[in-house]
């Protein structure tokens, strides 16, 4: 089997796959006559193995030769019991599994410069780093220092999942996909289309491949594979409804706390009538948090901005609707922005009254954005997307169950946010869906220069959201009075996060149907809108465009706005007015109207009755065309070893 190596692998080798690298040696060499010289030729870890009576244990060591490595030294290593020898194109090194005793004996050779045990080097992936998930991650297989989604069930309603992919194993080699069911009628649970595997791995893929370069947000969460998109990536409303019905029935059995819906269809009917939206509301009312993709219709064929293309069920108020951000391939969040393709609000689903007048929902969506441009994650074996677009294969590995692929879209952003919710629920299982939504928005990073119809409250911040989740009281109930303490501490937490050496202030606000609310009381006092059975937009009384708070669900000290804002990158409420709330409430935001430098459109053209599709950037013909073209991430080749220290 062909091996793929890259110089950068040396900086990212997983500690638990202890690697021996050996400089080339000349063939005819003599052993050092004095063992006293070994102290400077062997690392102390190897010597301690021998001195402690564990010299027969197999280790992976790094052997550096003085001269060139040749076949005679290879023969010596083989005679000493060395196995799994690796070489590199650009380095005169060998990687060897061998006993500690044999490693010391090798160091005694005059042509060997140094023998060392491979030391721990943790290299975590771009996605987990830039979202802040690394900062709350469980490490070294324990739960003493953080969270990895353990025990939380994430239902992935998509095109199926490749159960054989390495990304879905736990640290004991058990498959974390705990349930599979097909709702397409094709009678299969794998992923011939290739969308669902990538989505599931973004939410909960492990870090086994390429030394955790592609670790998902919640890498030990349980996954439920509910296949509603067929081998062509197409499904029906009925299939989705059957899947959501199954979730409602089996949520307690599998502890399903999170549902990911990286799919959509044109939002025609008002959320009040749309059957999928109504089903989503039932799930949220039962305590399940539902994430829905915003869509990928943020620009027309000329690149001009469009407003009003939020997909169903992303138009449902109780869902957490996620748009896509662009990280430009850096861990730092100082250069992040909203991806050009990400759908913008407001929602344009509508109802028609008795007088024949069309009433648009006009809700402010999305709620949040998350990284969704050219993300690399698990590739289902022999899938249609890669077969039709070979450049989507990231070239990470030639082995089917270790392959990775590029995809862009709100489909990719949605499971990133869903994974964050799993971390929050592990930290505090008592959180309601509305409270999860509020905490994620409150801790989000406002992206400068983008308005609320593009980014909602801002970009997801896993580190901040989990930090707040841990502080929330566990004894909150539907009878808790509005204004009661929300946190277990009287001290307000520091409302900022540092990721990639960039410190940003939390948004300190939340999106409410037609406007926003801001103020520290949102996290220090219990609000009625956090209850099970409510909607985060409840409590806003509007008339003639004037917004006020309802004291039965919102306490004093919370400020609401009369404008949708363009953020200045600081906190919610400090931006520039973009659109008056009255324009949304009055229903006079017309199709074809110019808003900023974009056009408001409606989803009034039905392309298929009840047809849904996977919500990724469908125009992709190659990795460079898949998403914003200027920001292709370099793939990190896989060395074939499983990393379990993620």
| DSSP code string of 553-572 | TS-TT-EE-SEEEE--SS-T
Residues of the chain with CATH 3.30.70: 7-117
Structural domain 126-600, CATH architecture: 3-Layer(aba) Sandwich (3.40)
Cα separation, 403 vs 226, in Å, equals 22
Radius of gyration of the chain from its Cα atoms, rounded to whole angstroms: 27
**pLDDT at residue 547, rounded to an integer:** 67
Dihedrals φ, ψ of 238, to 5°?
-60, -40
**pLDDT at residue 12, rounded to an integer:** 36
pLDDT digits (tens, 9 = 90+) for 450-474: 999 999 999 999 999 999 999 999 9
Let me know: does 518 contact 509? Beta carbons within 8 Å. Answer: yes
Q: How does the average pLDDT of the chain come out, rounded?
A: 83
Let me know: does 537 contact 345? Beta carbons within 8 Å. Answer: no
Q: Residue holding tokens 């999106």?
A: 511
Catalytic, out of 99, 325, 410, 411 = 411
**pLDDT at residue 116, rounded to an integer:** 65
Q: Residue holding tokens 């989990």?
A: 466
Residue 613 has pLDDT above 70, yes or no: no
pLDDT digits (tens, 9 = 90+) for 177-220: 999 999 999 999 999 999 999 999 999 999 999 988 999 999 99
Cα separation, 269 vs 604, in Å, equals 9
Residue 621 has pLDDT above 70, yes or no: no
> What's the CATH class of domain 7-117?
alpha beta
Residue 111 has pLDDT above 70, yes or no: yes
Which two tokens mark 212? 């955790």
**pLDDT at residue 552, rounded to an integer:** 81
Contacting residues for 221 by C-beta, under 8 A, at least 6 apart: 148, 149, 150, 151, 152, 153, 154, 176, 203, 204, 258, 419, 422
Catalytic, out of 195, 309, 311, 563 = 195
**pLDDT at residue 543, rounded to an integer:** 57
- 158 in catalytic set: yes
**pLDDT at residue 36, rounded to an integer:** 46
**pLDDT at residue 607, rounded to an integer:** 41
- 195 in catalytic set: yes
Q: Residue holding tokens 């056009």?
A: 599
For the entire predicted model, the pTM comes to: 0.80
pLDDT bin (cut points 50, 70, 90) of residue 627 is low
Identify any residues that bridge with 498 across adjacent strands, giving them in sequence order: 503
Residues of the chain with CATH 3.40.50.200: 126-600
Catalytic, out of 74, 111, 148, 158 = 158
Among 316, 268, 256, CA closest to 292: 316
Handedness of CA 137, 143, 146, 150 (dihedral sign): positive
* Other CB atoms within 10 A of residue 375 CB: 31
Identify any residues that bridge with 351 across adjacent strands, giving them in sequence order: 359
């Amino acid at each position: 089997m062909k091996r793929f190596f890259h110089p950068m692998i040396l900086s990212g080798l997983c500690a638990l796959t202890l690697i021996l690298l050996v400089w080339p040696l000349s063939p005819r060499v003599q052993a050092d006559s004095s063992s006293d010289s070994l102290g400077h030729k062997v690392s102390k870890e190897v010597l301690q193995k021998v001195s402690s009576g564990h010299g027969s244990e197999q280790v992976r060591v790094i052997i550096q030769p003085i001269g060139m490595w040749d076949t005679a030294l290879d023969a010596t290593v083989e005679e000493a019991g060395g196995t799994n020898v690796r070489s590199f194109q650009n380095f005169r090194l060998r990687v060897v599994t061998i006993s500690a005793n044999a490693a010391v004996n090798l160091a005694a050779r005059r042509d060997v410069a140094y023998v060392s045990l491979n030391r721990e080097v943790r290299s975590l992936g771009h996605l987990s780093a830039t979202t802040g998930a690394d900062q709350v991650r469980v490490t070294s297989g324990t739960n003493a220092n953080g969270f990895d989604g353990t025990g939380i069930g994430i239902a992935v309603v998509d095109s199926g999942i490749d159960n054989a992919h390495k990304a879905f194993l736990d640290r004991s080699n058990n498959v974390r996909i705990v349930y599979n069911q097909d709702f397409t009628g094709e009678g299969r649970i794998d992923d011939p289309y290739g969308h669902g595997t990538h989505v599931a791995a973004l939410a909960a893929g492990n870090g086994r491949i390429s030394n955790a370069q592609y670790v998902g947000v919640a890498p030990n969460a349980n996954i439920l594979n509910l296949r509603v998109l067929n081998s062509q990536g197409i499904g029906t409303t009925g299939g989705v409804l059957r899947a959501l019905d199954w979730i409602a029935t089996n949520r307690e059995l599998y502890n399903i706390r999170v549902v990911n819906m990286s799919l959509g269809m044109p939002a025609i009917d008002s959320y009040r009538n749309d059957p999928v939206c109504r089903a989503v509301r039932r799930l949220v009312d039962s305590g399940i948090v539902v994430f829905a993709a915003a869509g990928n219709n943020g620009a027309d064929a000329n690149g001009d901005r469009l407003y009003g293309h939020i997909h169903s069920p992303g138009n449902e108020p109780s869902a957490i609707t996620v748009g896509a951000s662009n990280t430009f391939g850096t861990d730092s969040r100082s250069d992040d922005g909203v991806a050009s393709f990400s759908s913008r609000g407001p929602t344009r689903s509508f109802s028609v009254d008795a007088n024949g007048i069309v009433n648009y929902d006009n809700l402010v969506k999305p709620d949040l954005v998350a990284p969704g441009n050219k993300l690399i994650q698990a590739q289902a074996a022999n899938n249609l997307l890669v077969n039709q677009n070979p450049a989507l294969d990231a070239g990470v590995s030639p082995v089917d169950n270790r392959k990775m692929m590029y995809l862009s879209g709100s489909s990719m952003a949605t499971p990133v946010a869903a994974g964050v919710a799993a971390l929050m629920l592990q930290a505090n299982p008592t959180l309601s869906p509305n409270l999860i939504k509020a905490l994620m928005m409150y801790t989000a990073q406002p992206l400068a220069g983008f308005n609320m119809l593009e980014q909602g409250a801002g970009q997801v911040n896993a580190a901040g959201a989990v930090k707040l989740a841990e502080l929330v009281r566990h004894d909150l109930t539907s009878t808790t009075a509005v204004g009661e303490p929300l946190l277990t501490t009287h001290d307000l937490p520091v409302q900022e996060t540092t990721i990639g050496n960039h410190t940003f202030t939390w948004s300190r606000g939340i999106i409410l149907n037609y406007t926003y609310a801001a103020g520290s009381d949102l996290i220090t006092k219990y609000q009625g809108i956090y209850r099970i059975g409510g909607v985060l937009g409840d409590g806003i009384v509007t008339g003639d465009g004037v917004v006020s708070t309802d004291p039965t669900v919102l306490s004093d000290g919370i400020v609401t706005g009369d404008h949708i804002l363009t953020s200045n990158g600081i906190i919610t409420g400090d931006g520039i007015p973009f659109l008056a709330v009255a324009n949304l409430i009055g229903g006079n935001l017309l199709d074809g109207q110019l808003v900023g430098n974009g056009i408001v459109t409606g989803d009034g053209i039905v392309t298929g009755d009840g047809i849904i599709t996977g919500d990724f950037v469908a125009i992709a013909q190659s990795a460079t065309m898949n998403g914003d073209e200027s920001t292709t991430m370099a793939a990190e080749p896989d060395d074939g070893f499983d990393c379990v220290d993620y």
